[in-house]
Amino acid sequence: MSRMKDKVVIITGAAQGIGATYAKALAEEGADIVIADILDGTSVVREIEAKGGKAIAIKTDVADETSAAAMATAVTQRFGRIDVLINNAAIYASLNLKPFEEIDVAEWDKVMAVNVRGPFVCAKAVVPYMKRNGYGRIVNISSGTPFKGTPNLLHYVTSKGAILTLTRALARELGDHGICVNTLAPGLVLSEGVIENAELRDRLTAPVIASRAIKRDQLPEDLITPLLFLASDDSAFMTGETLVVDGGSVMH
C-alpha cells in the first residue's frame, strides 16, 4: 500500500467503467481519490471507503473551464494538495461506427470538447497547485487507434492522436517544475461501455484480437500496473512518452 500512500489523485470520468477500475486500484495502493465526473461517483466512493480508503466525488464537466477550476479548488480545500491527474474522461463507447462523411460537425465538436479540450482544461486547473509543491504526475489516456488509423471513427481517432502531441508539448513546459506528463494508450478494452455497444463488440473485437501477439480480450485490469507505473515515482525520469498496452497489436 506504500506506492501511492498519501498521494492525492484526481481521475476524470471515474464514476464507471475503466475509470472506476483505476480509482479502486489506486486507492488500494494508498492514494486519496477524487472522482471527477459529470456522472454520480458516490457508488465508487462507497466501494473505496468500504475497504478503508479515502475518496470523494465531485461533479465535473471536464470540457468546462469553470467547472474544472472549481473541482481543483475543492480538492485542495479537502486534501491540501494535488499530486496526480489522470485524464481518463472521453467519449468513445457511445459512438457509432460510420464513414467520416457521415459524422456531423456537432458530433465532431462534442468529441473534441471532451477528449481534447477536457485534458487541456483539467491540466490548466491543477498545474498551479502542482507547481506550488514542485511535484506532479499527469497521465493522459489515449488509444492504440492513432497508430493504426482505425477507420469509421475519425473524430475519436483524431482526438486521441491529439493527446499524444498534447502530452509531448506539455511535458516540455512542465519538466522544470517537477511535473511528469505521460500517455497511457490502451487497445480495445472489454469495458462496460464496449460490452453494451454491440456494434463495437461485433465489428472490432475479432480483427483487433487477430492483430495482437497475445490473442485475447483486453480487460480493464490489464491497465492497472502500467497506470500505477506512470502515476507513481517509478516513472520519475520519464516524461513526454506514450506507453501502449494492447497485447502487442501496436508496436512502436
Q: For residue 22, indicate whether it is catalytic.
A: no
Asked if 178 and 237 count as a contact pair (C-beta separation under 8 A), the reply is no
Longest dimension (CA), the chain: 50
| Continuous segment of H or E residues that includes residue 54 | strand 54-59
Specify burial of residue 201 (Cβ count, 10 A radius: 0-12, 13-18, 19+): middle
Give the span between the Cα atoms of 220 and 19, in whole angstroms.
9
Residue with C-alpha cell 494538495?
A: 81
Query: CB neighbours of 227 closer than 8 A, spacing ≥ 6?
Result: 22, 25, 26, 86, 139, 184
User: What count of other Cβ atoms lies within 10 Å of the Cβ of residue 17?
Assistant: 21
Query: CB neighbours of 11 closer than 8 A, spacing ≥ 6?
Result: 19, 22, 23, 26, 33, 34, 35, 36, 86, 88
Secondary structure (3-state) at 218 = strand
Give the span between the Cα atoms of 243 and 35, in whole angstroms.
23
Secondary structure (3-state) at 180 = strand
Name the catalytic one among 22, 92, 135, 156: 156
Q: Which residues are catalytic?
A: 156
